Amino acid sequence: MDIQLPAVGPGVETDDEPEEELPPATVEYLDYRVVQQQGWDIDDDDLFEKAAAADLDERHYGVMEAPMKESLLRSAEDHGLKWPFQCRSGTCAMCAGVLKGGEAEMDMNLFLEDHEVEEMDLRLTCTCQPESDTVQVVFNAIQMEYVRDIAQNRG
Ligand code: FES
């Protein structure tokens, strides 16, 4: 009996469409040190409006394009920005940021607890990718007393 094997190999057409490349997200970022220096509060609803009006250096505030499959930390580095990090694998809090707008999910988190992600909106920027067209993130959250505390005492 003849057995028909499916045709596979180079040049053979299949029904699978190539995965469509999503356009990059627009990420607005702000350095937590600026929040401190200006006497702003991380919970201020108009934090990014104030930052946009404050004539800040682009190392501390700006807008960048970030591919959907790239971590926020890597995208920042691709734009010449120096955000803090240590392990680059979701096991510390050195790269932590606060998500202030849009959606961004971590594909690896071995450090933050659920309430810190869901209620405090903390994200590890080394494993966190944009999930919406626009994202607002306050990076350098290791400067926050709470984050510094868990970085020193957890684990
Ligand atoms: S650098 Fe350690 S969790 Fe991101």
Domain with 66 in it: what CATH number?
A: 3.10.20.30
Nearest CA to ligand 1 atom 3: 90
Report the nearest atom of ligand 1 relative to the CA of 109.
Answer: 3
- Please report whether residue 12 resides in a domain: no
- Please report whether residue 17 resides in a domain: no
| Ligand 1 mean position, distance from CA 65 (Å) | 21
- Please report whether residue 16 resides in a domain: no
- Please report whether residue 5 resides in a domain: no
- Please report whether residue 50 resides in a domain: yes
Ligand 1 mutation pick, 72, 82, 88, max ligand atoms within 8 A of CB: 88
Whole-number pLDDT of residue 96: 98
- Please report whether residue 90 resides in a domain: yes
Q: Average pLDDT, stretch 36-48?
A: 97
pTM: 0.88
- Please report whether residue 4 resides in a domain: no
- Counting the structural domains of the chain, the total is 1
Strand segments, DSSP code E, in the chain are 25-31, 61-66, 96-101, 104-106, 122-124, 128-130, 134-139
Expressed as residue numbers, the domain containing 57 is 25-153
Report the nearest atom of ligand 1 relative to the CA of 90.
Answer: 3
Question: 10 Å Cβ neighbour count for 112?
Answer: 20
Whole-number pLDDT of residue 64: 98
| Average pLDDT score over the chain | 92
State whether the beta carbon of 126 lies less than 6 angstroms from ligand 1: yes
State whether the beta carbon of 150 lies less than 6 angstroms from ligand 1: no
